[in-house]
Amino acid sequence: MITASIPEFREALPGGGRLMGLDVGTQTIGIALCDAGWTIATPAELLKRVKFTVDLARIRTFAAEQSVTGFVLGLPLNLDGTDSPRTQSTRAFARNLAVLEKPILLWDERWSTQAVTRTLIDADASRARRAELVDKMAAAYILQGAIDALAGFSSAF
């Protein structure tokens, strides 16, 4: 199941469980994880993209090791909310990731990279260090937004 709906995603995960956030780029995939109680997201890994079958195998292994029950993918929409070529690429990645048979939430990531980059600049991180951290930190930012929304949804009912 692939959805952009928090209620649908929540319903697909009745027992909660650990989620994996993915910031899918053309050269790297930033990975973040959250705890099973959906309280905090943490940057985890940065995968250098090879080809999809290799990337999928690495994600599958990592997800199994971490007991992941669902995925949150950052969806790079244009500023006006419309799809871009990267959005289409991310949707295709999600369709291919669906072979892992875990729910997938597409989460608006329009401001994630900018927010993380600003934080790293404020922390006086060098350009090289920012390049090393930005994608996995963006994945954590995306995942945190989603789990905050999930918490708000579950407490509302």
Higher pLDDT, 82 or 94: 94
This prediction's pTM: 0.82
pLDDT per residue as tens digits for the range 13-65: 878 889 999 999 888 899 999 998 899 999 999 999 999 999 999 999 999 99
Q: Which two tokens stand for residue 57?
A: 């195998």
Q: Which domains, and CATH codes, for the chain?
A: 2-155 (3.30.420.140)
Measured N-to-C along each axis, helices 127-155 and 112-122 cross at an angle, to the nearest 10 degrees, of 120
Residues 96 and 102: their CA atoms lie apart, in Å, by: 12
Measure the CA–CA gap between 87 and 76, rounded to whole angstroms.
5
DSSP 79: T
* C-beta pairs of 58-64 under 8 Å, 24+ apart in sequence: 59/20, 59/22, 59/29, 59/31, 59/97, 59/100, 60/100, 62/20, 62/31, 63/20, 63/100, 63/102
Task: For 120-151, write each residue's pLDDT tens digit.
Answer: 566 666 666 556 656 677 888 899 989 988 88
In contact, 157 and 6? CB cutoff 8 Å: no
